[in-house]
Amino acid sequence: MTGVAALLLIFYLRSKREKLPPGPFAFPVIGNLLQIVLSGSLVKFCKKYREIYGEVFTMRLGGYTRVVISGYDNLHHILISLAEHTSSRSMTFQKFFPGKKERGLLWAHTSDWKAIRTFSLLTLRDRGMGRAAFEPEIVEEIEKYMEHYIQPSLGQPLDMYSNLPRPLLMSYHNWSITNVLNSLVRSSLKMSFLGNLPIIGEHIPVVKKLRTDLQEISLPTIRKCIEERRQQFSSGEPQCLVDQYLLQGGNVDALTGENTVELCFQLYNAGTETTSTTLRWALLFLCKNPDVLKKVQKEIDDNIGQRSATYKDHLDMPYTDAVLLETQRLSNIVNSSLPRNVDRDIYVGGTLIPAGSDLLFNMASILHDPKVFEEADKFKPERYLTGDITLKKKRTIPFGIGRRACLGESLAKVELFLFFVNFLQKYNICLPEGSKVTTEPMISVISSPQPYGVVFSCR
Ligand code: HEM
């Protein structure tokens, strides 16, 4: 007992000696994990301790330290005004994901990152991202999904947790590979909390198994896809993103061999679970708000009728746009953005954050800010149609801001709109009778809805 007390005291005094901003007491080994679990989620933990410590406080997760930043102005100051010093990712956050540090784009350090990001953006744009040219492929994917999953289960609850498609990128033509990768991606996100525990994290059997699976299945699966593609694709027009990499990747010094494999996995990882989780939230919110569902369907009928939807239609569909914005705001799926590392001492609102600190952004303090979004914890799409719409849209930043903001934002917006509109143009949706699912998110790096089934019926 005395030993434990002495250990806690040493730990407490040591943490006091650091120049970091103050924060809640962190236990040895687990850090603030207990308080996070007791709060109910990382989002609620950040909300609670922001009230006590203010806009900048320190938390520990396992052995890793993070300075938590709240408020739009602070985020803007850090990611825009101080971008030069805050554009690297935290390497401790990366630890749980497969692959080597600093490879690919997501974790790349600034020198390689610039070349890889430019290449990736140009490649995606060549491929049609952000332009109408891309849409037929997305629509084809949606049609396959409806034929493959929705039609056979009409009138029955469809498990949206395991079945939402991972649109585009490299393996949209191969359902079995897609399913393997999807389940690994999703599990890795769920387990990343446990994996962050120092010393014990790596030895928890379920984490150990997952980590091995990630290393031994996901990257080799991607490698195999690239190899298959290399053999099929000898010349002619590139058919998918991997083709583009095969064609041009060799011209970028930072992108050779294994780095390409990792880049593809990261694009897959970053671009699939995010979009499909947002869609699952959107459908859940609509099942819970049938009046909103009716209004969206009316707008679809008035503007699109029976013809195929295009992304351009969103310009004439403010209500549907508002529903998707509200879904992204309220679900806040990337709730702490992706942690960054700061390379020199910086000050935020007069508080020193020492060089080398990892930063975690309290996105709920922006997306759920009651000063901007009245009744911020309620699903109210109308908020984007009245009042200071410009301010509300400016503060709705689910894709982050600044240099390292989401690479796939324009692609994701097109996918979300087309999936959503195509589903609701053809089907009515509701929850199965007696369903008890709530809109309380599950604890994970990505805030996702609890598993639930949607009953689709033809309109
Ligand atoms: C609803 C869908 C999506 C959401 C909410 C989302 C959100 C985010 C967020 C918050 C970040 C971190 C930004 C930061 O650090 O400041 C990010 C980064 C990133 N996202 Fe997305 N994303 C989505 C879809 C996509 C798609 C479809 C792609 C694929 C093409 C993609 C690729 C990436 C990449 C590569 C990065 C890292 C960028 C870098 O480090 O330079 N995302 N995303």
The count of domains in the chain is 1
More confident residue, 57 or 217: 57
Cα end-to-end span (Å), the chain? 67
Residue 456 carries which DSSP code?
E
Is the separation of the CB atoms in 324 and 416 below 8 Å? yes
> Quick check: is 109 in a domain?
yes
Contacts for 326 with CB less than 8 Å, ≥ 6 apart: 285, 379, 380, 381, 383, 384
More confident residue, 417 or 232: 417
* pLDDT > 90 fraction of the chain, expressed in percent and rounded: 45
Instruction: Please indicate whether residue 26, judged by its CB atom, sits closer than 6 Å to ligand 1.
Output: no
More confident residue, 116 or 179: 116
Q: Is 406 annotated as a binding residue?
A: yes
Domain harbouring 189, CATH code = 1.10.630.10
CA-closest residue to ligand 1 atom 26:
271
The whole-model pTM stands at 0.87
Instruction: Please indicate whether residue 138, judged by its CB atom, sits closer than 6 Å to ligand 1.
Output: no
Q: What's the gap in Å between 192 CA and the centre of ligand 1?
A: 18
Instruction: Give the tokens for residue 53.
Output: 């410590």
Give the range among 316-320, 322-326, 334-338, 422-426 with minimum mean pLDDT. 334-338
> Quick check: is 6 in a domain?
no
* pLDDT band (50, 70, 90) for residue 13: very low
Instruction: Please indicate whether residue 324, judged by its CB atom, sits closer than 6 Å to ligand 1.
Output: no
> Quick check: is 7 in a domain?
no
- Residue 224: count other Cβ atoms within 10 Å of its Cβ: 12
Q: What is each CA distance from 83 to 75, 152, 174, 408, in whole angstroms? A: 11, 50, 39, 20
Q: What's the gap in Å between 367 CA and the centre of ligand 1?
A: 17
CA proximity to 444, closest of 200, 191, 211, 206: 191
Q: What's the gap in Å between 405 CA and the centre of ligand 1?
A: 7
List the 453-458 sheet strands across, edge first. 157-159, 453-458, 427-430
> Quick check: is 31 in a domain?
yes
Counting ligand 1 atoms within 8 A of each CB, the residue from 86, 120, 141, 407 with the most, and so the one to mutate, is 407
Q: What's the gap in Å between 291 CA and the centre of ligand 1?
A: 31
Q: What's the gap in Å between 429 CA and the centre of ligand 1?
A: 29
Instruction: Please indicate whether residue 271, judged by its CB atom, sits closer than 6 Å to ligand 1.
Output: yes
The answer on pLDDT for 458 being more than 80 is: yes
* Residue type (1 letter), 64: Y
The answer on pLDDT for 173 being more than 50 is: no
Counting ligand 1 atoms within 8 A of each CB, the residue from 406, 409, 418, 446 with the most, and so the one to mutate, is 406
Model pLDDT for residues 237-259, shown as the tens digit of each residue: 666 666 666 666 555 666 666 77
Is the separation of the CB atoms in 123 and 244 below 8 Å? yes
CA proximity to 328, closest of 372, 364, 374, 370: 364
Model pLDDT for residues 255-298, shown as the tens digit of each residue: 666 777 777 777 777 777 788 889 999 999 999 999 999 999 99
Give the range among 151-155, 162-166, 269-273, 426-430 with minimum mean pLDDT. 162-166
Q: Of how many residues is the chain composed?
A: 459
> Quick check: is 3 in a domain?
no
> Quick check: is 101 in a domain?
yes
More confident residue, 342 or 338: 342
Q: What is the mean pLDDT of the chain?
A: 81
More confident residue, 145 or 18: 145
> Quick check: is 211 in a domain?
yes
Model pLDDT for residues 379-407, shown as the tens digit of each residue: 999 999 999 999 999 999 999 999 999 98
> Quick check: is 201 in a domain?
yes
More confident residue, 113 or 340: 340
Model pLDDT for residues 349-386, shown as the tens digit of each residue: 999 999 999 999 999 999 999 999 999 999 999 999 99
Instruction: Identify the pLDDT of residue 331.
Output: 96
H runs (alpha helix) in 135-289: 135-145, 160-163, 175-195, 205-213, 219-232, 241-248, 258-288
Instruction: Give the tokens for residue 118.
Output: 């430019």
Residue 40 carries which DSSP code?
S
* pLDDT > 70 fraction of the chain, expressed in percent and rounded: 72
Cα–Cα distance, 364 to 144 (Å, whole number)? 35
Cα–Cα distance, 74 to 56 (Å, whole number)? 9
Is the separation of the CB atoms in 381 and 319 below 8 Å? yes
Is the separation of the CB atoms in 407 and 124 below 8 Å? yes
Contacts for 291 with CB less than 8 Å, ≥ 6 apart: none
Domain residues for the domain of 444 are: 16-458
Give the Cα-Cα-Cα angle 331, 31, 77 (nearest 5 degrees).
Answer: 55
Instruction: Identify the pLDDT of residue 312.
Output: 93
Q: What's the gap in Å between 154 CA and the centre of ligand 1?
A: 33
- Residue 172: count other Cβ atoms within 10 Å of its Cβ: 21
CA proximity to 271, closest of 145, 397, 170: 170
Instruction: Please indicate whether residue 105, judged by its CB atom, sits closer than 6 Å to ligand 1.
Output: yes
Is the separation of the CB atoms in 237 and 374 below 8 Å? no
